[in-house]
Chains A and B, each alone.
Chain A
């Protein structure tokens, strides 16, 4: 079975991503600090519980000691003062790396929050956009990546717990967050600031590749999609389609029809597909939608069935999202659009 699908949904599907499993230096520090604070809390609670027991049930001599002024000075002032100061200094030292300037020449990505999805732009050395995508962030392992965070509407928050802490995305301002992965893998991300309606269904996937794989991946994604009728239609699932020969031909013909339907049904008003007349910017860029791992901003696996379901009835899947349900389209029309979109890779 296709294990890649399983991995994504281990990371995201069915709940928030794991927060205590760091996969990089930035997340590491946050997790160490979290555990230290938690341990300190447990120790202090333990001391208080023991003292309470002694105060209620203990022998009279111990009770007298507990009631003394000396204990108040030591246990109530000196102990918390010293411990909290140490924890604060250590915590600031640990987390100072999160805001330190990154070396020049680090890879930069601009992520813009929308209600309720993430726009992702890969920036070249001159700050120009070299590739545009949505709800998916691909990074090389072992390199710090600067994420420029912005918002087009309300305040969102960008959070990949495995890779770093969370950082707000604020309209009119650019925040920077550095992330780094020290192992390849797929890591779930979420919007961590309530932003209305389907906020809980606003997610994405961060994919860390080994550096060579990453370069190959980036090279494979040009700004313009492949021609429509390819010999080997990438959208089909070869192992599952035993009637392949006839099907593939069919798919190509259906896809041409799907392209027309996509333009005529108004999809192009909101969505951009590079290399076509579709140039909308209100919704996610669909230039590479066929190769994305998820649909609907990290909430559904990407396959032909979920694509059809999403186009036909996105409002029952993600109530309140800004894409209307296209339930006026027939089953064949939905399928044709889905097949064409599958080919946008």
Chain B
């Protein structure tokens, strides 16, 4: 009996590692990438998959899939990321990042692209 309890406890400790929290839509990600190039996010951010420019005024945008808080302030959800990308000062007052020239749909696409990036 004691053995089987221990065995159960061990097995429970061996559960599968969590999968990626978001499975981005590839078509949306491709549109998002094009939007990133058009508005020039690279002027401030190094973004994997964007060859040039790789600005250093803002932080690198590696792997949103795995981070805790967006811009250190917002719970990491797709809706929050899209809202932040579109109008950062509105969702995080005092943010350095200005509002961008993205439509709501485009900002969702950009979020899809950013979630698709692996920081490994």
Chain A positions within 8 Å of B, measured between CB atoms, are 1-2, 5-6, 9, 13-14, 237, 240-243, 295, 299-301, 303-306, 308-310, 312-313, 316-318, 327, 331-332, 334-335, 338
Q: Which A residues lie within 8 Å of B117 (CB)?
A: none
In the docked arrangement, what's the CA distance between A2 and B43, Å?
A: 19
Q: How many residues of B contact A (CB 8 A)?
A: 26
B55-A241 in contact (CB<8A): no
User: Do most interface residues of chain B lie in helix, strand or loop, or is the interface mixed?
Assistant: loop
Complex A-B: 23 CB contacts under 8 Å: A1-B101, A5-B38, A5-B39, A5-B101, A9-B38, A240-B101, A241-B87, A242-B87, A303-B40, A304-B99, A305-B100, A308-B57, A308-B98, A309-B40, A309-B57, A316-B55, A317-B42, A317-B53, A318-B53, A327-B57, A331-B96, A332-B96, A335-B98
Chain B positions within 8 Å of A, measured between CB atoms, are 37-44, 53-58, 86-87, 90, 96-103, 106
User: Do most interface residues of chain A lie in helix, strand or loop, or is the interface mixed?
Assistant: helix
Smallest CB-CB separation from B104: which chain A residue?
A240
Q: Indicate which residue in B57, B90, B98 contacts A313 across the interface (CB closer than 8 Å).
A: B57
Take A308-B98, A316-B56 as given contacts and tell me if A301 and B40 are in contact as well, using a CB distance cutoff of 8 Å: yes
Q: Indicate which residue in B38, B55, B97 contacts A317 across the interface (CB closer than 8 Å).
A: B55
Q: Total A-B residue pairs with C-beta atoms closer than 8 Å?
A: 93
B86-A240 in contact (CB<8A): yes
B86-A301 in contact (CB<8A): no
B55-A240 in contact (CB<8A): no
Smallest CB-CB separation from B90: which chain A residue?
A243
A1-B106 in contact (CB<8A): yes
B8 to chain A, nearest CB (A): 54
Take A1-B106, A300-B40 as given contacts and tell me if A316 and B99 are in contact as well, using a CB distance cutoff of 8 Å: no
B98-A301 in contact (CB<8A): no
B53-A305 in contact (CB<8A): no
Q: Which B residues lie within 8 Å of A237 (CB)?
A: 99, 101
Smallest CB-CB separation from B93: which chain A residue?
A243
